[in-house]
Amino acid sequence: MFTRAIVRRPGTNFAAGLTTVDLGVPIYERALEQHEAYCAALERGGLQLIRLDADERFPDSTFVEDTAVLTRACAILAYPGAPSRAGEVTEIASALAPYYSQVHSLQPPGTLDGGDVCEVGDHFFIGISARTNEAGAGQLSAILAQAGYTSQCIDIRGVEGILHLKSGIAALSHRRLVVIDALAPCPEFQGYDLVPVSADEKYGANCVEINSRVLIAAGFPILAESLRELGYETIALDMSEFQKMDGGLSCLSLRF
């Protein structure tokens, strides 16, 4: 059960951030509205929000998930793979300090974005991607092992159309994984109950279970119906402006 989440308001220079897609320039006012709706959904799920002000130094800083990996035992500060984002970690460390007695930090040459880390109970999948390298994944795996967790690395560099591992996978209760078609054959996912996501709905795979509810991006009716048939209560949120900047639902908060 999550009780808190860290969120950060998008800055006025949000559109100057990094993106690998060509979906147009995000409309700032609409991004603010969508972000506030997202925050309201987290609160409906029972989370107390720690709201950070926009940081105009870092256009991508609303995507706070990439700055840390949070477990019940400890917090691990990431080392973002994009050099322009490295400075985001400092303020996140300050925000986490009151809640964690054990805080670890990844070190170069290792790089790691939190969006490449998917927690499934006491097990973690770590994506090797354009932003997370083998050295960063290895450091994280060692820290997790010391804390009593297991982990596996999955190389997604050959998977077209996803930036992070969690662009194509989400963990739900009951050992279920929402997985895009391109990742479904991975042997690491054997033994899990897979909820498939077709190529034309793959953005929807980045959903987030918040206690008794699942937040999903609006506009993906097949996935939404699949989740409802499995008994999940879903909340659909418009994510159009964040999708333009390679962002998804999980990217916008650090939940613990």
The question of whether 74 is a catalytic residue gets the answer no
The question of whether 174 is a catalytic residue gets the answer no
Which of 153, 186, 207, 251 is flagged as catalytic? 251
Lookup: tokens for 187: 């042997």
Of 223, 118, 116, 124, nearest to 163 by C-alpha is 116
Are 41 and 33 spatial neighbours (Cβ–Cβ below 8 Å)?
Answer: no
Residue 89 dihedral angles phi and psi, to the nearest 5°:
-70, -30
Which of 118, 153, 164, 186 is flagged as catalytic? 164
Lookup: tokens for 163: 């930036």
For every residue of 90-121, DSSP letters joined together read HHHHHHHTTT-S-EEE--TT--B-GGGEEEET
118 DSSP β-pair partners: 125
With tokens 């596996």, the residue in question is 152
Helix count and strand count (H, E) for the chain: 5, 15
Are 167 and 140 spatial neighbours (Cβ–Cβ below 8 Å)?
Answer: no
Residues with a known catalytic role: 164, 251
